[in-house]
Amino acid sequence: MPLSNDDVTLEAISPAANRTLTFDLPGLSVGHAEYEAGPTGCTAFLFDHGWTTSVDKRGGLVGTAGDYEWMHALCFAGGSLPGLEAATGVARELWSRREHSTNHMPLVNGAIIYDYGKRQNTIHPDRELGRAAVRAAVPGVIALGARGAGRSATVGKMRFAPEGGGQGAAFREFGGVRLLVVTVVNALGAAIGRDGSVVRGNFDPSTGARLRSISILAPGQTRPRLEDPKPTKNTTLTLVATDAKLTGRELGQFARQVHTSMARAIDPFHTSSDGDTLYAATSNQKQANTSPDILGMVAGEVAWDAVLSSFDD
């Protein structure tokens, strides 16, 4: 039987990242924690006083918990469905800070990726790891690459050996408001650069070339065996956070627009073997001097940058 959480004493760590992104978005703190024995991890996002939220689910088989339209925290985690335990740990840690008041229950959303592809154990993020991520949370900085929920993420699994994925992020100020996108890329498809070339995944070792997914499926090519959608083994999880004032309807459309735009960066996207889920959250602090549609266009560009920043060299 593969090694599991029941077999070993696990130590939650929050290792320093080789790469980080700094951002200026008041009210948001981010922490990550990992089990090196996996390796696997989780990333916790803490929203001061709670932020308005919209969830856009596009994958064929998603794994989420909560789905609240107002959240105090969000937890991304590895470990597939057992990894949702990390979200309960985030809730437990926040609740303890409120002295376990039954009148102030924290609302926590959670989503998971399947990150068992390159490891020979079933160690997963659990309640203690979620609590550790909350304790490690700081404002204004997030780890990039194979850290947190992206610790064992992979991409490009249609035909060739998968390559390392990870956690990416990008930040921009536009229209008088702030936009932060964080994404954990664990996709069936490959990552696409700004020039249309494949930058991660679909690497053919016989030629040294990276192929577009449609080329793998072209006539005359060996038909690949796509991933079994049950359980889903591929997922891209994304958070788009802003301080722009948006109505519930506007925030929902904003989430759909940004999520749709990410198909330019990940090819293919939203397949039956992906659990792609995006959370849009706002503190509703500032009135933008442009329309929600324009904000969505800009946030889509930020999301593309976030995808490209997720991979370690």
Looking at residue 192, what is its pLDDT?
A: 98
Give which of 275, 271, 273 is closest to 64, Cα–Cα. 275
* Distance in angstroms (rounded) separating the CA atoms of residues 31 and 20: 12
Q: Which CATH number fits domain 19-308: 3.60.70.12, 3.50.50.60, 3.30.70.270, 3.40.50.1370?
A: 3.60.70.12
Both tokens of 199, joined, read 């930058």
236 has which bridge partners?
185
Both tokens of 282, joined, read 């706002």
Q: What is the pLDDT of residues 190-233, one digit of tens each?
A: 999 999 999 999 999 999 999 998 888 765 555 555 444 344 58
Pairing type for strands 138-139 and 108-112 reads unpaired
Any idea where the domains of the chain sit in the sequence? 19-308
Q: Which residues contact 109 (CB under 8 A, 6 or more apart)?
A: 53, 55, 64, 65, 66, 67, 68, 71, 73, 74, 75, 87, 279
Is 0.85 topped by the overall pTM?
yes
Q: Which residues contact 132 (CB under 8 A, 6 or more apart)?
A: 12, 13, 14, 31, 33, 89
Q: Is 235 a catalytic residue?
A: yes
81 has which bridge partners?
none
Q: What is the pLDDT of residues 162-196, one digit of tens each?
A: 999 999 999 999 999 999 999 999 999 999 999 99
* Distance in angstroms (rounded) separating the CA atoms of residues 83 and 128: 11
Q: Which helix (H) or strand (E) holds 181?
A: strand 177-186
Looking at residue 273, what is its pLDDT?
A: 87
**Which one of 235, 238, 271, 277 is the catalytic residue?**
235
Both tokens of 255, joined, read 């989430």
Give the position of tokens 């789905």.
67
* Distance in angstroms (rounded) separating the CA atoms of residues 262 and 84: 25
